[in-house]
Amino acid sequence: MSSLAEAKALVDVPGKAIKQGLDKAEAEKLKKSSTDGGGSVDLV
């Protein structure tokens, strides 16, 4: 996150895509870091 406003926007609008067009390895890495922090992730 580059700013507090961007981070707040992600929290205020759950279900919004954060990253798109990642390869499977990158997506799994991002998923792990998000779920380790208590988030929930759906890879589509």
* Helix/strand/coil percent split, the chain, to 5: 50, 0, 50
Using DSSP, how many helices (H) and how many strands (E) does the chain show? 2, 0
User: Using one digit for the tens of pLDDT, what is the confidence trace for 5-35?
Assistant: 887 877 787 777 778 899 999 999 989 998 8
What pTM does this model have?
Answer: 0.59
Write down the pLDDT at residue 18: 78
Answer positive or negative: Cα dihedral of 35, 5, 10, 28. negative
